Amino acid sequence: MPLKKNDTLACIRQKFSVPARRGGLVEIAGVSGVITGMSGDCVRVKLVGMERGVPFHPHEITYS
């Protein structure tokens, strides 16, 4: 039986006091993107024109 995946972004929200949620619209250095998940203490963001999410520190991100 597969394990149920927890909302791991909840840890990021609590630890860094940011509103990170999967599917949330964000901006990094003037480029728009969408949160796709997390990697360690980083939030993965798929920026416009990219195929995959790239990890960014939660405080580098401007949340919408």
Phi-psi region of 41 (alpha: psi -120 to 50; beta: other; left: phi over 0): alpha
For residue 8, what pLDDT is reported? Answer: 80
Q: What is the CATH number of domain 9-63?
A: 2.30.30
Series of mean pLDDT values for 10-residue runs along the chain (64 residues): 63 94 96 95 96 96 95
For residue 50, what pLDDT is reported? Answer: 96
For 21, other C-beta atoms within 10 Å of its C-beta total: 16
For residue 7, what pLDDT is reported? Answer: 58
Predicted structure pTM score: 0.86
For residue 58, what pLDDT is reported? Answer: 97
